[in-house]
Amino acid sequence: MLDDLDRRILRYWQAEPSLSPGELAEKCNITAGKAARRIARLQDQGIVQGSGVVIDWAALGYALEVSLRVTLDKTQANAFDTFMAEARQVPEVIEIQTFLGRVDLRLSIIARDMGHYQQIYRSRILTLPHIAEIEALMHVARIKTQEGLPL
């Protein structure tokens, strides 16, 4: 699916997402036009799904991160869809993951402090539909964050 040139482009780009197509071309020893066409193809194929900004939430005053493991009452029709649609509307929920097994979902929540978290938890999380069980895990430290793969 990927040839050597695609892998080189991706390797440089994931190491330095701010590189322009021209800068990627220079690093890969190809023309800017060829780099732009390859990048467009990688995006069209869904291999590259976008580039963005990484925000340091703590620098913006969100000092607390909590993971909530949620088990849903799946005896209710459309419990998953209804829960996820409403959970997406909570601004402090920055990530939703689904799982197979006893736990159905994990929500990552950010808050300014414990008081703010308690307010979010009581007024926004506990009011979400179809919750059968919920467990909170307080985030202590991020040891490794890496989305890049060895290419």
Report pLDDT digits (tens) over 20-52. 999 999 999 999 999 999 999 999 999 998 877
Q: Which of 1-10, 52-61, 76-85, 94-103 has the lowest mean pLDDT?
A: 52-61
CA distance 135 to 138: 10
- 39 and 77 in a single domain? The answer is no
132 lies in some domain: yes
3-class SS letters over 122-149:
HHHHCCCCCEEEEEEEECCCCCCCCCCC
Q: Give the residue-averaged pLDDT of 108-129.
A: 97
Whether 134 has a pLDDT exceeding 80, the answer reads: yes
- 89 and 24 in a single domain? The answer is no
- 131 and 72 in a single domain? The answer is yes
Phi/psi at 138 (nearest 5 deg)? Answer: -80, 125
Whether 149 has a pLDDT exceeding 80, the answer reads: no
Whether 146 has a pLDDT exceeding 80, the answer reads: no
The model's pTM: 0.78
Instruction: Give the chain's domain count.
Output: 2
The pLDDT value recorded for residue 17 is 87
CB-based contacts of 94, cutoff 8 Å, min separation 6:
57, 108, 109, 110
101 lies in some domain: yes
106 lies in some domain: yes
Q: Domain range spanning residue 134?
A: 57-138
CA distance 21 to 7: 15
